[in-house]
Chain A
Amino acid sequence: MNRYDVIVVGAGPAGLSAAIEAAKLGLKAIVFDENAKPGGQLFKQIHKFFGSKEHKAKVRGFKIGEELLQEASKNGVEVVLNAIVTGLYMDKEVTVKQDDKIVHYKGDTVIIATGASENMVPFEGWTLPGVIGAGAAQTMMNLHRTRPGEKVLMLGSGNVGLVVSYQLLQAGCEVAALVDAAPRVGGYGVHAAKVARCGVPFYLSHTIIKAEGTDCVTGVTIGEVDSSWKIIPGSEKHFDVDTICLAVGLSPMSQLAKMAGCEMEENPLKGGTVPICDEYGETSVKGIFVAGDVSGIEEASSAMIEGRIAGIAAARSLGYIDEEALKEKSKELEAALGSLRQGMFGPGSKGKEIIQTEEGYEISKSLLTKGYIAEDEIFRYPGVTKKTGLHPVIECSQNIPCNPCQDACRKGCIKIGENITSLPVVDQDSECTGCGLCVASCSGQCIFLVEDGIEEGYSAVTMPYEFLPLPRKGDMGAALDRSGTKVCEAEVLEVRVAKAFDHTNLLTIKVPADMTMKARFYVGQEV
C-alpha cells in the first residue's frame, strides 16, 4: 500500500492550496481528482474576483487557477487526475479508482476538499435537453468555447446566476430573462447591475412553470409566486428560448466525510449536510480535515484560504511544526478569511433582509427587485458625487468585502479605509487624472468616469466594457441607462485597451449633458 503524509481529495482551489501548504512544510502530499484537468471550477471563472490584495482581488479566476498549479508543481505536490476516490475507511485508508482498478492508499492525514454539486429544481419539462445547470453553461462556453444555446433564460439570482448570465452575454448569447422565486436578488448588486444595464429583464418572485418542447427546449413559461410560493393565476409569461439555465444553489459533497465517520450536521446556512470541524478544518475524526465548499458553501477565495489553513494544521497534527507555529502561520490566514466573511453577504447575514448599509445608507429597493439602482436612489451613496470636472462615480451600494478601487487611485481620490466592506467614498477635493485604473480594477464594474461640459451641452461618460466587437472611436450608437433602456444617441470618443486593465476595456462616449448620470452602457448601431 502507498503511504503519504497527507492525501488530499479534490484538486480544486481548496485542495490544491492545502497540498501546497502541507508540501511547503515538508509533508509528502498527493492530490486525487476525478477530472481530467485540475483546478476544480476555477478555470471556468473568467470574471475578476472580489476581496483585497491577499485574496487575489481583481484577478480573474482562471489566472488564479494557473498560479495555483504553478505553485503546486514548484512545491512538489503530486496531482493524480482521472482518479476517483471511492472510499475513506478506518485508519485513513483511501481507495482510488484509477484506470478501472481500485488502488489502496494510506494517509497519515486526509484533507477532504471535494467541493459541491449543483442543486436542481424540478418543473414540468425539466428533463428536456436544453435545460442545463449554470455550471454546465460555464463549462461549455468558457472551457470548450461552445455556446450552450442562442437564447437563454436563467433561473436564480445568486452570484452564480448573475455571473453566468453576464458570461452568456459575453459569449454572444441572448439572455431573455433572469428569474428568481425569491422576492429579492440574492447575489451582489453590482453583478446584477452589469447584467441589467445590458437590457436583461429581472423577474423576482417568479418561477418556472414549465419548459416547452418535445425533443428539446423551444420555450419556457414563468409565473409570479405569492407569499406561499404558489403561482398567481394570470401572471404567466412566455419566452421563446432554446436553453434554460438553473442556478439554484450548491450542496456540499460531504459523503466521504460521512463515510469516514466524521460527526455531521445539517446546516442550511452552510448549504446542507456538512462535517462539524474546528477553526483549522479538523473534523471529529483526528487527522481528517475538510476545506472549501465541502464544509459549507462559500466563494473560491475563502476555499483557498481554508485549504491553506488545513494544510498547515495537517502538518501540525503530524508533528512537522509545533502548536506555536500553527498559531503563528494560521493567524494571518484566519484574519484574511474573517475579512472575506464580513459584510451583508457573509455567512452571518444569510437569509436576512438588510435594509441599510453598515454606514446607515438605505439599500436600493430597485436594485433588489429589478437589478439596478433607480435614478432617485443613486445619489445617496458616498461614491456618487456631483462635480462638474472629471471625476469617478462609484455606484457601489452594498457592504461586500472588496477594496481594489482604493489601491487603484494614485491620487487618493477613493477611500474605503481599514474595513474592507465599507462603501468607497469619493473625495471631491482630490484631482482625478482620468487614468481609468479604478474603472478597470472594480470587479463589480460599477465605477464610471464622468465629465461635464466637454463641449457645449455635452458630457463624457467612461465605462468598463467587456464585449466584442469592441467599438471604435467615431462609432455612433446608443447609450443605455442602468435598466438597459436606450436613452440617447452616443458617439464613441475613445476606447482604451491596456494590459493593466486586464480585458476590462474603457469605453468613453459623448452624451447630452442631461444624460451624464443616466448613460451607463453602450450599444453600437445594428449593421
Chain B
Amino acid sequence: MEKEGKQSMRVENHPILGEAESQTVVTFTCDGKVMQGYEGEPIAMALRNAGVLVHRHTKKQDKPRGVFCAIGRCTDCVMVVDGIPNIRTCVTPLKEGMVVQTQYGHSEKKEA
C-alpha cells in the first residue's frame, strides 16, 4: 500500500504462506489523521502498519499502552472507535470511514 510508506510492516510474500491475497483498501482516520488499511483486518493491524503503536493512555498515571495479546483477551489495546470507548482494536474489523481515537482513561478527551 503506497500511503503506508516505509513504516509498513506487511509481509507480502512469506516462505510458508506464500503471496498475500489482494485485499480491499479502506480509508479511516486515527486522531484526525487519514490512514488506510485492509477491510476486515483488525483495526490494530492497520494502525501498526501506519506506525501507530500507542492506543491509549491509562487514567490514573497517563501511561501509554498498546497491543499486548492481540486476541481480544487483555484489553490493553482498547480505543475510542466511532465514538464508542473500550473497543478492542485487535479483534474489531476495520471498516471504511471508521473514526478511531486514542483513548485517555475512558474517553477520547485528555483529562486535565
- Chain A: residues with CB nearer than 8 A to chain B? 34-36, 46, 60, 117-118, 127-133, 135-137, 139-142, 144-149, 170-172, 214-216, 466-468, 470, 503
Contacts and interface: CB of A to CB of B under 8 A. Distances in A.
A141 B91 contact: no
Contact of B69 (A36, A136, A145, A149): A136
Given A35-B72, A139-B70, A467 B15 contact: yes
Specify which of A117, A127, A131, A146 lies most central, judged by the most chain B CB atoms within 10 Å of its CB.
A146
Chain A interface mostly? loop
B34 interface: no
A139 B20 CA distance: 15
30 contacts: A35-B71, A118-B69, A127-B63, A127-B65, A127-B76, A129-B66, A129-B67, A130-B66, A131-B68, A133-B68, A133-B74, A136-B68, A139-B70, A144-B45, A145-B17, A146-B9, A146-B11, A146-B48, A147-B10, A147-B11, A171-B11, A172-B11, A214-B64, A215-B64, A216-B53, A467-B15, A468-B13, A470-B15, A503-B15, A503-B16
B10 to A, nearest CB: 6
B64 A216 contact: yes
A149 B53 CA distance: 10
A136 B69 CA distance: 5
A412 B73 CA distance: 49
Contact of B45 (A146, A171, A215): A146
Interface in B41-60: 41-42, 45, 48-49, 53-55
Nearest to A48: B16
B91 A36 contact: yes
B14 interface: yes
B77 to A, nearest CB: 9
Nearest to A41: B71
B21 to A, nearest CB: 9
Closest 9 A-B residue pairs measured CB to CB?
A129-B66, A136-B70, A147-B9, A129-B53, A139-B70, A145-B11, A216-B53, A144-B45, A46-B16
A33 to B, nearest CB: 12
Given A135-B71, A468-B15, A216 B66 contact: yes
A145 B10 contact: yes
Specify which of B53, B67, B71 lies most central, judged by the most chain A CB atoms within 10 Å of its CB.
B71
B65 to A, nearest CB: 6
Contacts of B53: 129-130, 215-216
Given A140-B48, A146-B9, A129 B16 contact: no
Contacts of B12: 145
A132 B65 contact: no
A468 B10 CA distance: 14
A171 B53 CA distance: 19
Contact of A60 (B16, B45, B70): B16
Contacts of B68: 131-133, 136
A131 B55 CA distance: 13
A132 B14 contact: no
Interface string B86-105: 00001101000000000000
A170 B18 CA distance: 11
B67 A170 contact: no
Contacts of B90: 136, 139
A127 B68 CA distance: 8
Nearest to A171: B11
A133 B70 contact: yes
Interface string B2-41: 0000000111111111001000000000000000000001
B103 to A, nearest CB: 13
Contact of B55 (A129, A142, A145): A129
A171 B14 CA distance: 6
A445 to B, nearest CB: 12
Contact of B17 (A46, A132, A133, A136): A46
A245 to B, nearest CB: 11
Contact of A140 (B54, B70, B72, B74): B70
Contacts of B49: 146
Interface string B73-86: 11010000000000
Nearest to B7: A150
A245 B60 CA distance: 26
B16 A144 contact: no
A403 to B, nearest CB: 23
Contacts of A140: 45, 48, 67, 70
A470 B90 CA distance: 32
A117 B69 CA distance: 9
A148 B48 contact: yes
Specify which of A145, A170, A214, A503 lies most central, judged by the most chain B CB atoms within 10 Å of its CB.
A145
A117 B72 CA distance: 11
B1 to A, nearest CB: 12
Specify which of B12, B48, B53, B76 lies most central, judged by the most chain A CB atoms within 10 Å of its CB.
B53
A135 B15 contact: no
A148 B44 CA distance: 11
B54 A216 contact: yes
A145 B20 contact: yes
A470 B45 CA distance: 27
Contacts of A34: 72
A140 B20 CA distance: 14
